[in-house]
Structure 1
Amino acid sequence: MTPQHEDYPAYARSERIADGVIHALGVSFALAGAVLLIVFSALAAEAQAGRIAAVAIYGGALIATFTASAFYHMTPWTGLRPVLRRIDHAAIYLKIAGTYTPLVVLIGTAFAYGVLAVVWTVALGGAVAKLFFWKSPGKLGPTLYLLLGWLSVALVWSIAMTLPVASTTLVVIGGLLYSGGVVFFLWEKLKFSNAIWHGFVLAASACFFAAIAVGVLS
């Protein structure tokens, strides 16, 4: 049996298979979705360089996050896990900020850009801290992820006034899915908790992707 570091739960084979399937779906979704969104944005009636750049940033963050998570959770080389975990957790910050980016560009107000500046500042600081300073995940990481994500409450009215109702609804559902999934992220003793958590992440990501796609194409 492969030695297991005390910080890394020892998952059963069935749990790893379930998590692997979800990660395969996630990486495939990120790759295909990013390409399609960039193409649709470029071909849209109101195609703008800013919008195309914003969805490219979002798509890149989406791909990076799902890929980093897949490498971390699926690697058979336990010696690499500490480094891969840092990359995985740092990428989450970039995904959060990357998701804000096209939504803010679609809103287009000075206030929204101010919120985006705060989000990217915190995200980059959190990513650097995860990569170089924090030695263990602890509870601070999930708390900061949630706080950064729920900062979007400041933009809900702007989203509702600017984007289609479907986009607003999907953003709210996506936020609730992320928040609900954190319960399973922290509940490590529950069987399949990791796969369930990543299932929530995939579902929430799909909601935000759809919200952005509707906004870009409307």
Structure 2
Amino acid sequence: MRSSGYKRASYLALFTIFYNVLEGLVSMWIGAADETLALFGFGADSFIEVISAVGVWHMLQRIRANGGESRDEFEQRALKITGVSFYLLTAGLVATAFLNLYQHHKPDTTFWGVVVSLVSVSFMWYLIRQKTAVGIALNSPAIMADAACSRACLYFSLALLVSSAGYELTGVGSLDAIGAMLIGYLSFKEGREAFAKAKGMSCSCGCSCSP
């Protein structure tokens, strides 16, 4: 039972990796073409989530083989790379958003931001439900924390949806920049939690950390 549970958790981690790669490619390509910073930043976040998901997949393989949920050197390194990447994304998004506000920049369209965010919300909701079910069945804090990280990804999707839909409905160009800054804020929180996890603190994405 436990073996099949961890096998399913590994499949979910692999699905998360492949989905985020596809989402990142599509979002960054369309975001650059339509000059929508929020969608481009959302795509960059997806690639950072790939690094985190690879660390989770590695952890699950180790737990299946050896047991124990404490993080090894590879997982700690992945978390540190994830943290640095999130901080860099935050800085880039906030700086570019302020520049866009100053220049009164408007994206060509944010229609595809609405589409991508709705698709992402659907997939993240599926992953949250599946990972939570497996985590409860196995009584695994690590898998439950991974489910919480998928929930954090859902917040990124909702931020993109609100800013993209808002621009499509109102034509107010600043909404794209505001959406990008909100994604930047969420990225900063994720970066801080990644470093806390690397130090051995107990965190679930979007929640507080404790020793």
TM-score (norm 2): 0.45
Highest relative contact order (Cα 8 Å, sep 6+), 1 or 2?
2
TM-score (norm 1): 0.44
